[in-house]
Structure formats: C-alpha cells, structure tokens
Amino acid sequence: MIGATGGVSSTVALGLAALAEGLTEPHGLVTAHPDLEGVELVTPEDIVFGGHEIRGESLEAAVRHLRAESGLFDASMVEKCASILGNMQRNVRPGTLVGASEAVTALGDRAEVPADATPGDAVERIAADIEAFRVTNKLARVVVIHAASSEPPPPPALLAVTQPAALDQALTGSGEVLLPTSTVYALAAIKAGCGYVNFTPSLGIGLPAALKDAEARGIAFMGNDGKTGETLVKSALAPMFAMRNLPILSWMGQNILGNRDGAVLNDPNTREAKIHSKEKTVAALTAGAPRVGVSIDYVPSLGDWKVAWDYVHFSGFLGTKMSLQFTWQGADSVLAAPLIIDLARLVDLEMRRGTSGLMKHLAFFFKDPMGCDDFNLFNQWRTLVNHVTQETN
C-alpha cells in the first residue's frame, strides 16, 4: 500500500485482520459475491500487508483515530486486532517526498523519511524495500496499490515523456520535468515486477514512458481512482435514464467530506484533478451535452464521512422537466477498503494466470478506468464476471 497508514489503508489492514480472525462478514467485498464463487482467489489470511508511508502515525493509531473521530468500527474488534496491526506495522517503510505537492509535504511528519537525492534514487530505494518485503515474507507475488493523497493534474510536459531517454533524464531530477510522487512509486513497482493499481486520480503509472516500460516488462496494471460512492451511484443511474430515453439536462453534484483527502482537495489545483475524474461518468453515459458539475468542499466536522448531494434534471415526454436528487452518506475509507482487497485478489489472480498489460476488465472498480470508454456499471459488471469466471488454459 502506498500511503500505508492513511484512512483507506488502515481500514484495509483492520479489515484483513478482522476477516482472517473471523470477526466480520465480507460485506462490501465484491470478490465475495455469489457470482464469483468458485474462482480461486487468495484468502484474506494469506495476504501479507505492507507499504510505504510519509506520516508517523501507526496503523493502530490511525484505526483508533477513525474510531474516535468518525464513530467507525466496533470497539471489541479493534481490541482483538490490535496486535495484528502491530505486526503489519513492521512492514510499513518510509515513503518519499520527491515530487510531492506542498499540501502533501506538509503531512510528512515521519522522522525516518530520507531526503532522496533524485527521483531515481527514490525508485531504487522503494523497489529494494519491496523486494526485501517479498523475500522476508516468502511471497509468490506482490501487488502495489496506490492510495496516497491526490495530486494536482499533470502538466503537459509530463505527458510528453514518452521515450526511455526522457524518463531517464527525469529520474536524474536535473531536467525540466518533475516526476510526481505517484509516478515514482509506480516506477518502483514496475522495477520490482509487481502488479500495480492506481486507486487515486494521480498520474501514477500513466506517464507514457512508464506505461511502455510496464508493458515491456509484463506488468499487469490498472487504474484510476476508485469508484466508491457518488460516482458509483451515477454509473448506475445514468444508464437508467439512457435506457428510458430520458435526456439529462443537468447533473450537479456537491461533495462535502472531512478527512485528510478532503484537506488535500481543499487546494484548488488538486481538486481540479479529482473533479475532472468525477465528471467523466455522466458525460460518458448521456447523449447530448448536459450541464455537468461537481464541487468538493472540505468540512472537517464530518471526519471520514462523505455526504454527496446530486441534483439530476431531466427531460420527459412532451418536454416536461423532472428531477431526481439523492444524498449519499458513506464513510470513505470503509467504502474504499474492501475494493482494495478485491483488487489485490483479482490482480493476484491475473498474475497467476500470466496476464500482463492493462486489465480493462477491472473497469468496474474505477471512476476513470484506463483504456475504457464504457462507464455503464452493469456492462462493467458483466465484463468483470465473464472475465474472472472463465478458466484460462
């Protein structure tokens, strides 16, 4: 896990512990859906948790913080899992601040985080950490999942880094191109031969030269930006309007949230990347050119809870304007965590099956699925189930 003791990753850690100990039902786990029964997936107890982190807070402290601030998790479950979280913590290595935004750098209070001289140095160090993690824990496969704070949208110069030479230059840190932290982690994952998932709207593996490298090295990868709440609902409702031939006039969404992600998104530049990712679904699923808007506001009192209000204005028969509005109230980390466990299991399955390159069949899990233009949740579901349940030879 990149961002290994953040809200999402801590919940992943607690969840793995609770599932392994039989303390909870697998609610929210797509891989526990009856339609996927029979698929041989790694069990929660066989998954070893580890990662990189720039903040000093431990997994256990993060879990207790979510509990106190946001009312999440049963008290006795936390107590029973505390020692397991302590063991997992040993696998959390210092992250890197190379290429980080100001907002993110301000969060970096972990004493051990070294001042990597160049992006290339950071890549080497992190890849070596992953390799050591694999060896120490005798792991068959490693999946790197990026769940660190959102970054601002990449400048055009970054998207022009298509050739190995340009990437090498960027890794020295001496050119004009500044690699974002998410891409540094992605390059380390590629170097270490891991499966890779980008659960955020950050660039990550999306740097053109990184994509080429990943394909060349047979890496299985997918992203971007986990589809956890408001966008999930959009991807179910927009097809409904389309099937009934009811044109969308406007679809406006207001998101308020209080966690660290919200604090980072309070920076207008970073927010832009997130909004861009969130606006795609409705635009892709509706004919015409509806007015689509998403706003995000940081409301600290909400803690890990996110409240989203969407107003959908549509045109009915004989030009009659009607509306649907919804309010979604969900705990962000708790929505994301099971999807990350799902992705770890499904990417591991692909690696065993020998898949490499872009895993388009995982589009179901993402707001902005790489290489896919079908945002219809139901089509994505069918694609996922068909792909996963068909045996490879």
Q: Does 283 bind its own copies (CB under 8 A)?
A: no
Q: How many CA atoms lie within 13 A of 41 on its CB side?
A: 21
Whichever of 185 and 328 has its CB closer to its own copies, that residue is 328
Give the whole-angstrom CA distance, residue 337 versus residue 374: 24
**Containing H/E element for 149?**
none
Nearest approach, Cβ of 369 to its own copies (angstroms)? 15
Instruction: Supply φ then ψ for residue 214, to 5 degrees.
Output: -60, -45
Number of residues engaging its own copies in binding (CB under 8 A): 74
The pair of three-digit structure tokens given for residue 364, joined into one six-digit string: 């179901």
**Any idea of the CA torsion for 75, 81, 85, 87, to the nearest 10 degrees?**
150
**Containing H/E element for 323?**
strand 321-331
Q: Does 315 bind its own copies (CB under 8 A)?
A: yes
Residues 192-221 that bind its own copies (CB under 8 A): none
Which region among 72-80, 151-159, 166-174, 189-197 touches its own copies (by CB under 8 A)? 72-80
Q: Does 71 bind its own copies (CB under 8 A)?
A: yes
What string marks each residue from 351 to 390 as x (binds its own copies by CB under 8 A) or -? -------------x------------xx--x---------
Whichever of 202 and 228 has its CB closer to its own copies, that residue is 228
User: Given candidates 100, 338, 369, 370, which one binds its own copies under the rule CB under 8 A?
Assistant: 338
Whichever of 38 and 319 has its CB closer to its own copies, that residue is 319
Whichever of 14 and 192 has its CB closer to its own copies, that residue is 14
Whichever of 192 and 292 has its CB closer to its own copies, that residue is 292
Nearest approach, Cβ of 230 to its own copies (angstroms)? 10
Instruction: Supply φ then ψ for residue 142, to 5 degrees.
Output: -125, 135
Q: Does 89 bind its own copies (CB under 8 A)?
A: no
Residues 18-57 that bind its own copies (CB under 8 A): 18, 24-30, 32-33
Which region among 122-130, 167-175, 330-338, 344-352 touches its own copies (by CB under 8 A)? 330-338
Whichever of 178 and 263 has its CB closer to its own copies, that residue is 263
Q: Does 323 bind its own copies (CB under 8 A)?
A: yes
Nearest to 36 by CA among 362, 366, 357: 362
Q: Does 318 bind its own copies (CB under 8 A)?
A: yes
User: Given candidates 138, 317, 373, 392, which one binds its own copies under the rule CB under 8 A?
Assistant: 317
User: Given candidates 48, 246, 283, 284, which one binds its own copies under the rule CB under 8 A?
Assistant: 246
| Residue indicated by tokens 């397991």 | 84
Give the whole-angstrom CA distance, residue 87 versus residue 48: 10
User: Given candidates 132, 249, 263, 284, which one binds its own copies under the rule CB under 8 A?
Assistant: 249
Q: Is the dihedral of CA 113, 48, 90, 138 positive or negative?
A: negative
Instruction: Supply φ then ψ for residue 309, to 5 degrees.
Output: -115, 125
- First-to-last C-alpha distance (Å) of the chain: 31
